[in-house]
Amino acid sequence: MLFSICCGAVIGIGCGVISGLVPGIHANTMAGVLLSLQALLLAWFDPVVIASAMFAALVTHTFIDCVPGTFLGIPDADTSLAVLPAHSLCLEGRGEEAVRISALGSAAGVALSLPLALAFVLVLPALQPGIDWGIGLIILAVAGYLIVVSESPEWALAVFGVSGALGLFSLRYSFLAWQVGGESGVLMPLLSGLFGIAVLLRASHGVMPAQHFAGIDLLPGAVRRGSVLGSIAGALVGWLPGLSNATANALLTSVIGYDTNPREYILATSAANTVNAFLGLAALYAISRTRNGVMVALAAAEEVPPATAILLAGALAAVGAYLLTILLSSMAGWFGGVNVTALNRGVIVFVVLLSLFLCGPFGGLVLLLATAVGYVPSLVNIRRVYCMGAIMVPVMFYSFGFA
């Protein structure tokens, strides 16, 4: 079985690198591809290889997806808010540092995910009915706190409400979108408009400064704090239904400001991203709940291997993904001297074409509306976190039974 686990980890790393580096492709997509090819693959590999590859792809994706966000400013569904400080560091010539901080956060998340998963498996199954009902109240309380402490509570509430309405509209009518990007493909134009194009339209111009790496500017205390807070947030959204990494990003802003502590925020959100993957696996085995597309594909596989085999594959993938992320961080040097205006325009054109390819005309409409909403915070001088209403409001509706 060890050979099958290692083989699956290698295949999964390859799939995760592709999904992490290519905007619009998620590990869920790669898992769906592996599942659709299951009959063919079983002629060459045993079921352990396929299941291991699915989970290894998810873990690898959580490491690698910071690269396009940092260098190009294109948000992934899992890294929407984290893109803002990471790309800002790149514009300061610290892109390699941002990627290395993200890799460090994901590595810390792997280390903390096992004790968190064990604690959740032992304690939470008996409390699950109450937890399912109370999620919306927790999200509502966090959103209310963020709005009250805003620079302009009125505008914060307005942006949160409008973005929430846009999120409900996009998800409710997602059947109008082309399904090239999968059932959740509509999130790509939604979040790219709110946190990608809207930011790039007002981004700085001129020439990208020379990229240099002089170490990670984070105190040990900040590393510990960010790792723990991010891992707890990732564990919560990994176990609880209806939540996602984007929700964890929003929750973390209530304790770590992405504008005041950008490096710690990048580390915390990366830890949350990776822990979410491992806790989703724990929820599958402990309470038979599927929290993401990879877990759905894994549950539908020909044979579901023991949890220890899948965890080992995930751990091996994490080691490989960490080394690859550090290697890819050196790509920062390629962007020194690049015309920022031309780069931003190229990214905007790419995102528009990708949205149309993945979701068709409906994706173009969602992208246009999301860009308009995402442009407002910079005009009224409030933080962009309130655009997370696009994710938080649908989660609250789901929790309260208005699915």
Q: Which of 72, 94, 331, 101 is nearest to 203 (CA)?
A: 72
pTM of the model: 0.81
pLDDT in the model for residue 184:
61
pLDDT in tens, the chain (403 residues): 788 899 889 999 998 998 888 776 777 667 767 776 776 777 787 888 888 988 999 999 999 988 888 887 777 666 667 777 888 888 888 889 999 999 999 999 999 998 888 887 777 777 767 776 777 787 788 788 888 888 889 999 999 999 999 999 998 888 888 876 555 678 888 888 887 788 778 766 667 778 888 889 888 999 999 999 999 988 888 877 666 777 777 778 878 877 788 999 999 999 999 998 898 888 888 877 776 667 777 777 667 788 888 999 999 999 999 999 999 988 877 777 677 778 778 888 888 888 888 788 999 999 999 999 999 988 888 888 888 888 888 888 877 777 6
pLDDT in the model for residue 174:
86
pLDDT in the model for residue 302:
65
Q: Are residues 196 and 351 in contact, defined by beta-carbon separation less than 8 angstroms?
A: yes
Q: Which of 56, 105, 20 is nearest to 331 (CA)?
A: 20
Q: Are residues 312 and 55 in contact, defined by beta-carbon separation less than 8 angstroms?
A: no
pLDDT in the model for residue 206:
65
Which helix (H) or strand (E) segment holds residue 304: the answer is none
pLDDT in the model for residue 79:
64
The three-state secondary structure class of 345 is helix
pLDDT in the model for residue 80:
67
Q: Which of 166, 195, 164 is nearest to 79 (CA)?
A: 195
At position 11, the amino acid (one-letter code) is I
Q: Are residues 24 and 188 in contact, defined by beta-carbon separation less than 8 angstroms?
A: yes
